[in-house]
Structure formats: C-alpha cells, structure tokens
C-alpha cells in the first residue's frame, strides 16, 4: 500500500492498511491510525499523531513547524482525530510553545488551500471552505462553517454551528448559532439553515432569534445586560446556556 516513490522515515508508524501514494513524504515522529490514505505529493512532518481513516489529497502540507517568529525549535505537536478530509494544498502547522499542540477533531472537511495555524483547536464536523484561513490560537467549535476566503484573526473563536460569509474578515468572536459576514465581519442573524441541518427544533430556533434580538437589536442594553436578560426571560435550553457562556467568556468581544 506504499508507492515505491514515497519516502517514509524509519521512525514513522504506518499501519499495514494505510495507503501512501506517489511522491509522498512522511517524516520522523508521524503516527498514523488505521485506514488513512495519502493520495500523492503529500508531506506530513512530526511530531504528529493522526487518527484513523483520514484522507489527504495532493499537495497537503501537514505538521510543518509554526510560522510564529517566537518559535525557537522546542518540541511541539499536532494531533488529528478520525475521519477528516484534507483537500488539495491544505496546510496545518504544529504549535509554538514547548509541548503545546494544534488540535483537529473528528469528521472535519478542510477544502482546498485552507490553512490552520499554530495552536488552533478545531472541534468536530467543521467545514472550512476554499482558502479559509485561521491565524494562531483560533478556536472553532463543533459544526461551524468557515466561508471561502474567510480570514480569522488570532485568538478569535467561532462558536458552535456558526457560519461566516465568503471573504469575511473576522476580528472578534462569532457567537454560536449565528451568521457573520463582512469586512470586518458583523453578525447578521441566526444561522437558520445550519440549525435546521443539525436538527435544532423550531422552538429552540425561536428562542435563539429572541436572544439575537436582545444581543444585537435591543437599544439601551450592553452585552452584560443582554445576557442577563436572556438568562432571566428565556428558557434555559442548552443552546441558550451555551450562547450565554460563550459571550461571557469572550476576551476579544463578540462581532457586532
């Protein structure tokens, strides 16, 4: 299952059922789970631990050292979960600080030219569209969608089931369940299509719309007042609890 032109470091761990295509390079400290496939011209460097059934398309560059200029060569890591798809020319970098790690969860799809920088943490079932770019220390929660050519500033967070429009410039946190678009990005409304696709009941969507209006449309309320009013006046469904907790923990502020 390893093409004769592929180069595999003797200290890499490659199970027998993995497929390594033509002209791939697998470096020292790379550990694969079962059933991974590298199509061709894929480069993976370590220390990188990769789960099962991940698929890497041509010209992916995975596990290269951080582009952070503070990096001094200390050991850093990349961890990738199960069943992810990395399309053509995707780049994912290891962390910057000693023993720190960049983390990608499970069942994510990163489309062509997407970039995940050092120390990012991605959850599960995320879609990064073509040329979506995450700067360092970005957190993306489960089932979020990053629109094509979106650029996310370092230390920002993209909340659960949120979506960013194509070509958006994200400089503050995008709260869960919301749709953000623009340069700089502004939250426009709830992500109704995403909520429906993920089976969120209509009653819960109604409560999220009410929470959106309190956060973004109610004059005279600051963020703290809006969150307090959401907690007081709306049902304590899990989505609203998560939304309030996310907003309260925001260091960069939320996209307005």
Confidence of residue 225 (pLDDT cuts 50, 70, 90): very high
pLDDT digits 0-9 by tens, 146-163: 999 999 999 999 999 999
125 and 212 in a single domain? The answer is: no
Confidence of residue 171 (pLDDT cuts 50, 70, 90): very high
Give the active site residue among 136, 147, 159, 194. Answer: 136
Assigned token pair, 106: 């499970």
Among 88, 112, 137, where does a domain finish?
A: 137
CATH number at residue 241: 1.20.1180
Is 133 domain-assigned? yes
Residue 83: what pLDDT?
98
125 and 219 in a single domain? The answer is: no
pLDDT digits 0-9 by tens, 131-151: 999 999 999 999 999 999 999
- Rounded mean pLDDT, 40-69: 98
Task: Work out the mean pLDDT of the chain and round it to a whole number.
Answer: 97
Give the active site residue among 39, 118, 153, 207. Answer: 118
Residues 3 and 170: their CA atoms lie apart, in Å, by 41
Residues 250 and 204: their CA atoms lie apart, in Å, by 23
Is 48 domain-assigned? yes
* 97 flagged as catalytic: no
125 and 204 in a single domain? The answer is: no
Model-level pTM?
Answer: 0.97
Strands 178-182 and 115-116, how do they pair?
A: unpaired
Under 8 Å between Cβ of 86 and 104: no
pLDDT digits 0-9 by tens, 113-131: 999 999 999 999 999 999 9
pLDDT digits 0-9 by tens, 184-224: 999 999 999 999 999 999 999 999 999 999 999 987 899 99
Residues 247 and 231: their CA atoms lie apart, in Å, by 12
| Burial state string for 120-149 with b = 16 or more CB within 10 A and e = fewer than 16 | bbbbbbbbbbbbbbbbbbbbbbbbbbbbbb
- Rounded mean pLDDT, 165-176: 98
∠ CA 170-79-251, nearest 5°, is 35
Q: Which residues contact 30 (CB under 8 A, 6 or more apart)?
A: 9, 12, 13, 44, 45, 46, 47, 48, 50, 63
* 225 flagged as catalytic: no
Residue 219: what pLDDT?
78
Residue 99: what pLDDT?
87
| HSE-CB for 207 with a 13 A CA cutoff | 20
Q: How remote is the C-alpha of 62 from its chain's centroid? A: 15
pLDDT digits 0-9 by tens, 76-109: 999 999 999 999 999 999 999 998 999 999 999 9
Q: Which domain holds residue 49?
A: 7-137
100 and 29 in a single domain? The answer is: yes
Backbone angles phi, psi at 58, to 5 degrees: -55, 140
Under 8 Å between Cβ of 178 and 191: yes
The H-or-E segment that residue 27 falls in is: none
Is 230 domain-assigned? yes
Is 160 domain-assigned? no
Give the active site residue among 82, 119, 142, 181. Answer: 119
128 and 19 in a single domain? The answer is: yes
Helical residues (DSSP H) of the chain, grouped into ranges: 192-197, 202-216, 223-233, 238-248
Residue 218: what pLDDT?
87
Q: Please give the full DSSP string across 187-202, using - where no structure is assigned.
A: EEEE-HHHHHHTT--H
What's the structural domain count of the chain?
A: 2
Under 8 Å between Cβ of 85 and 62: no
Is 153 domain-assigned? no
* 119 flagged as catalytic: yes
């Amino acid at each position: 299952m390893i093409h004769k032109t592929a180069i595999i470091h003797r200290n890499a761990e490659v199970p027998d059922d993995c497929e390594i295509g033509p002209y791939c390079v697998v470096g020292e400290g790379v550990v694969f789970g079962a059933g991974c496939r590298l199509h061709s011209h894929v480069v993976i460097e370590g220390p990188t631990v990769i789960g099962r059934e991940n698929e890497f398309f041509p010209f992916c560059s995975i596990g290269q050292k951080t582009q952070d200029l503070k990096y001094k060569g200390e050991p850093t890591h990349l961890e990738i979960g199960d069943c992810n798809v990395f399309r053509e020319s995707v780049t994912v970098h290891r962390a910057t600080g000693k023993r720190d790690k960049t983390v990608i969860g499970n069942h994510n799809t990163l489309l062509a030219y997407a970039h995940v920088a050092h120390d990012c943490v991605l959850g599960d079932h995320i879609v990064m569209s073509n040329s979506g770019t995450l700067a360092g220390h970005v957190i993306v929660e489960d089932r979020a969608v990053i629109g094509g050519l979106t650029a996310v500033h370092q230390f920002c967070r993209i909340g659960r089931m949120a979506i960013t429009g194509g070509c958006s410039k994200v400089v503050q946190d995008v709260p869960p369940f919301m749709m953000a678009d623009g340069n700089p990005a502004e939250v426009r409304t709830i992500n109704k299509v995403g909520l429906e696709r993920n089976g969120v009941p209509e009653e819960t969507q109604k409560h999220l719309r009410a929470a959106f209006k309190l956060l973004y449309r109610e004059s005279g309320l600051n963020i703290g007042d809006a969150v307090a009013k959401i907690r007081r006046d709306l049902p304590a469904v899990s989505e609203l609890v998560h939304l309030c907790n996310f907003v309260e923990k925001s260091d960069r502020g939320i996209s307005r």
